[in-house]
A = this chain, B = another copy of it.
């Protein structure tokens, strides 16, 4: 018997937000099934379900235990898969819904941000062999202690990419509410272009630079397992739904110097002022933050004052501000630094493209453009395929327009 090739699809919460949308999703799934594929479909919690559950928990406890929160939130996806399976049945096709536990999506015990450790494919393959469309609850798994866990932000995408990896799927299709990845935010630069193909590395930079379509860790899993990921729209007819394909670097991907421009306003800058300029101070600060699972993005250490005292600044995501300041206050006391100050009015602007490797002068041109337009650069970080600058958030949009015009139009 010839094995059919497997396609994994993922539909987000807004795509299954009401009965009509669920029926349309079911029709789209069936269309793919008719094309002769074996189908595994990952579904998120419908519409506002998760928000409503969080509000319910809030009304009971301001700080609920995360194990119970996972128990509560996992019901959203479970409702989603049952409803999608029903809609497929109603249109005359075979489908079966499975929770994370039923599939055997094993995670560690870090509730609310668990990491997938392994996925059992036995049950999945059995149901595919029965010609079922298998509908899997995204965002959830089960720990070794048989507690229900959730995977945190972007968790359903991660479920889909991980399933595609263990099933050796030909593609992982992520259906979302945009047409694909764009060279920048079209609401800022109307000439923004949809990108047809993008490499894993570029996509990683887009994700970490603030593009919200797919989280870094999903891209990492795709890259590691060489899974082709296809970002598509839940609302566009399939013939016109070319989307963006994320895949290994290919020859034609090399042609472009700058693939896109991103702006991330979800950043805050924290500075520890008056730190003594002795070895090991930076290690101490960033070691403590790492221990508390706080991801630091950009770092600048000012040149030492004559007194042997300097300042250390770095950026973190906005939601980490409170916790980071708490930790830095401790560190400040230990290091006998002067003070901790924060700045929320910053934006990180990035230009991304694998072509930068071979195109010299891209960074210089970026700095020049910003300078010509009186946009002050506060911090810089670079990788082989990305250059990011922290600037005043008020100038974020105009910086995007300027850079997109220069590099992408």
Task: Name A67's closest neighbour in chain B (CB-CB).
Answer: B96
A68 partner residues in chain B, CB cutoff 8 A: 82, 85-86, 89, 97
Is A74's beta carbon under 8 Å from chain B?
Answer: yes
For residue A304, CB closer than 8 A to chain B, the reply is no
Do A60 and B72 touch (CB < 8 A)? Answer: no
CA distance A97 to B101 in the complex (A): 16
Nearest chain B CB to A68 CB, angstrom units: 5
Establish whether residues A53 and B79, one from each chain, have CB atoms under 8 Å apart when the complex forms. Answer: yes
How many Å lie between the Cα of A89 and that of B65 in the bound state? 8
**Once bound together, how far apart are the Cα atoms of A79 and B22, in whole Å?**
22
Q: A68-B97, A102-B146 are in contact. Are A60 and B87 (CB under 8 A)?
A: yes
- The answer on a CB contact under 8 Å between A89 and B75 is no
Given A19-B59, A61-B90, A78 contacting B79 (CB threshold 8 A): no
* Distance of A82 Cα from B66 Cα, bound (Å): 10
Decide: B61 and A82 in contact? CB cutoff 8 A. Answer: no
Contacts of A61 in B (CB 8 A): 86-87, 89-90
CB distance from A134 to the nearest CB of B (A): 13
CB distance from A341 to the nearest CB of B (A): 36
Least CB distance from A105 to B in Å reads: 14
- Give the contacts of A281-303 with B (CB-CB under 8 A): none
Q: How far is the CB of A14 from chain B (nearest CB, A)?
A: 16
A83-97 interface bits toward B, Cβ cutoff 8 Å, 1 = contact, 0 = none: 101110110000011
Q: Is A86 a contact partner of B102 (Cβ separation < 8 A)? A: no
Whether A22 lies near B60 (C-beta < 8 A) is yes
Shortest C-beta distance, A125 to chain B (Å), equals 15
| Chain B residues, CB < 8 A from A90 | 60-61, 64
The interface residues of chain B lying within 8 Å CB-to-CB of A65 are 85-86, 89
Contacts of A78 in B (CB 8 A): 71-72, 74-75, 78
Residue among A57, A82, A87 with the highest chain B CB neighbour number at 10 A: A82
How far, in whole Å, are A60 and B88 apart by their CA atoms in the complex?
10
**Per DSSP, are chain A's interface residues mostly helix, strand or loop, or mixed?**
helix
Is A56 an interface position by the 8 A CB rule? Answer: yes
Minimum Cβ distance to chain B for residue A130 (Å):
12
CA of A86 to CA of B71 in the docked complex: distance in angstroms?
A: 11
- Would you call A37 an interface residue if the criterion is a C-beta within 8 Å of the partner chain's C-beta atoms? no
Query: Are B79 and A72 in contact, CB atoms less than 8 angstroms apart?
Result: yes
A340 at the interface (CB under 8 A from B): no
Is A248 in contact with chain B by the CB < 8 A criterion? no
Interfacial residues of chain A within 138-155, with CB under 8 A of chain B in the complex: 146-148
Task: Compute how far the CA of A151 lies from the CA of B177 in the bound complex, rounded to whole angstroms.
Answer: 39
Taken together as a complex, chains A and B put the C-alpha atoms of A96 and B123 apart, in Å, by: 28
| B97 close to A56 (CB less than 8 A) | no
**B71 pairs with A82, CB closer than 8 A:** yes
Contacts of A64 in B (CB 8 A): 86, 89-90
Q: Which residues 108-161 of A have a CB within 8 angstroms of B?
A: 123, 146-148
Chain B contacts for A22, CB-based, 8 A: 60
Known contacts A96-B67, A102-B146: does B72 contact A82 (CB below 8 Å)? yes
- Any B CB within 8 A of the CB of A30: no
- Chain B residues in 8 Å Cβ range of A403: none
A81 contacts the other chain (Cβ, under 8 Å)? Answer: yes
Asked if A23 is at the interface of the complex by the 8 Å CB criterion, the answer is yes
Counting CB contacts under 8 A, is A362 at the interface?
A: no
Can you name the residue of chain B whose Cβ is closest to the Cβ of A49? B75
Enumerate the 4 nearest inter-chain pairs by beta-carbon distance, A residue then B residue, closest first: A72-B82, A75-B75, A19-B59, A71-B82
